[in-house]
Chains A and B, each alone.
Chain A
């Protein structure tokens, strides 16, 4: 089965940014991290390049995107963006070369401990990591019937501990769950119910029920974390 983010129902519903709220949180990140025109920026898990286009509109000149999916990377490349296929746990970059790493609704799909260490390696001391992703609001991890960002979600204490242990200082942690709820509401309008949405994604009523049960157990929320590489 395709990962959730590549399903037709999700791609049609979320548009090019492929995450709840579109580029709303990307704009918030730009306000918080305030990169300059000369900042060296990486979009880790750039997808089809929606954030990179926004950053270029903000005047950021030196930005490279990495993604593991050839289709999405190809779409980003067609927009004239600098893209490379790469595993986020093994970025083809020297140590301490970046001012800012964006990682939006991708981290949960990765080997999080290794990827977090890799972000610490490529960021310069004092450089920013801006991360958005799903977390479990009940603290419970649930069994999801398909690969998705929900399946890798944990509670926020576990998230912050991973970054602290990897050499980051967490400067800000915000809840943006209303953006996720709005996206879910749009899926309900489109597909009749959340059950209908998950059935459209999985093509199977039992898997759809399992996804709804997993959502009820973990009550997914959306967070934004801004962390700084310690000196």
Chain B
């Protein structure tokens, strides 16, 4: 499974590195499960931007499923 979660504008800068974020493949690990998704990534330090909508929407529901809630 590979999914893209990129903002409409990729106009985001990694503040410590002053590098523009670029689309990159990221592995999200939770409770022994791995999900491969495409997210904005800092090419220098590897920091990943997860939008609030994604964190409080899909990711929250996924966490609850994996926690069997």
Contact with A along B31-57 (1 / 0, CB 8 A): 001010100000000000000000001
Task: Please tell me if the beta carbons of B35 and A181 are within 8 angstroms of each other in the complex.
Answer: no
| CB-CB nearest in chain A for B36 | A189
Q: Produce 1/0 per residue, A172-187, CB < 8 A to B.
A: 0000011001101110
B62 cross-chain contacts in A, Cβ below 8 A: 185, 188-189
Is B66 an interface residue when CB atoms closer than 8 A count as contact? yes
Q: Does the CB pair B3–A185 fall under 8 Å? A: no
Q: Which of B1, B57, B65 contacts A181 (CB 8 A)?
A: B65
Give residues of chain A (1-60) contacting chain B, Cβ–Cβ below 8 Å.
Answer: 13
Please give, as numbers and ranges, the residues of chain B lying within 8 Å of A190 by CB-CB distance. Answer: 1, 3
When C-beta atoms are compared, the residue in chain B nearest to A137 turns out to be B68
Q: How large is the interface on B (under 10, 10 to 19, 20 to 34, 35 or more residues)?
A: 10 to 19
Residue pair A188, B65 in contact (C-beta under 8 Å)? yes
B19 within 8 A of A: no
Does B18 have its Cβ within 8 Å of any Cβ on chain A?
Answer: no
A194 close to chain B: CB less than 8 A: yes
Q: Does A192 contact B (CB under 8 A)?
A: yes
With an 8 A cutoff between CB atoms, is A193 at the interface? Answer: yes
CB pair B57 A193 closer than 8 Å: yes
**Would A193 and B58 be within 8 Å (CB), given that A185-B35, A186-B1 are in contact?**
yes
Q: Give B61's nearest chain A residue, CB to CB.
A: A188
- Whether the pair B66, A182 counts as a contact (CB closer than 8 A) is yes
Q: How far is the CB of A134 from chain B (nearest CB, A)?
A: 15
Residues in chain B near residue A181, CB distance under 8 A: 65-66, 68
Q: Which residues of B contact A188 (CB under 8 A)?
A: 58, 61-62, 65
Q: How far is the CA of A58 from the CA of B40 in the complex (A)?
A: 42
Complex alpha-carbon distance, A190 and B36, angstroms? 11
Given A177-B68, A184-B65, A185-B65, do A192 and B1 touch, yes or no (CB 8 Å)? no
Q: Are the C-beta atoms of B1 and A189 separated by less than 8 Å?
A: yes
Which residue of chain B lies nearest to A184 when distances are taken between CB atoms in the complex? Answer: B65
Please give the residue numbers on chain B whose beta carbons come within 8 Å of chain A beta carbons, in ascending order.
1, 3, 33, 35, 37, 57-58, 61-62, 65-66, 68
Interface residues of A (CB under 8 A from B): 13, 177-178, 181-182, 184-186, 188-190, 192-194
25 contacts between A and B (CB under 8 A): A13-B1, A177-B68, A181-B65, A181-B66, A182-B33, A182-B66, A184-B65, A185-B35, A185-B66, A186-B35, A188-B58, A188-B61, A188-B65, A189-B1, A189-B3, A189-B37, A189-B58, A189-B62, A190-B1, A190-B3, A192-B58, A193-B57, A193-B58, A193-B61, A194-B61
6 extra A-B contacts, CB within 8 A, seeds A177-B68, A185-B33, A193-B57: A178-B68, A181-B68, A185-B62, A185-B65, A188-B58, A189-B62
- Interchain residue pairs A-B with the least CB separation, the first 3: A185-B62, A185-B65, A188-B61
